[in-house]
Amino acid sequence: MQIRCKNCRMPFSIGREIVDQALNTMQDENLVHFDFRCPNCKKNNKVTQRQLLRAAPGWSYTEKNVSKNDKSGKAKGK
Ligand SMILES: [Zn+2]
């Protein structure tokens, strides 16, 4: 998707993969918008979830697989 930096007005593009990741993070952390850093002036640009969804048709939330790597936690006895 294309974003135009609100600070320096330079347009920059965000790959589909990044958009997907951003949507997942938003879901995890209950965010209303996501900050993308402008490659030119390094300022953050807020992008709403609605904008991201438009850029990522067919996106669906994939839960983090924390349990797979967590061996320290609950070890079932017997
Ligand atoms: Zn900028």
Q: What is the CATH number of the domain that holds 11?
A: 3.90.1280
Q: Does residue 74 lie in a domain region?
A: no
Q: How far is the CA of 51 from the centre of ligand 1 (A)?
A: 18
- The pLDDT value given to residue 22: 97
Q: How far is the CA of 14 from the centre of ligand 1 (A)?
A: 14
Q: Does residue 69 lie in a domain region?
A: no
pLDDT grade for 62, boundaries at 50, 70 and 90: confident
Q: Which pairing describes strands 44-48 and 11-13: parallel, antiparallel, or unpaired?
A: unpaired
- The pLDDT value given to residue 52: 97
Q: Does residue 26 lie in a domain region?
A: yes
Domain containing residue 13: 2-57
Q: Does residue 76 lie in a domain region?
A: no
Cα distance between residue 70 and residue 78, in whole Å:
19
pLDDT grade for 63, boundaries at 50, 70 and 90: confident
pTM: 0.76
- The pLDDT value given to residue 64: 74
Q: Does residue 70 lie in a domain region?
A: no
Q: How far is the CA of 50 from the centre of ligand 1 (A)?
A: 21
Q: How far is the CA of 3 from the centre of ligand 1 (A)?
A: 10
Number of domains in the chain: 1
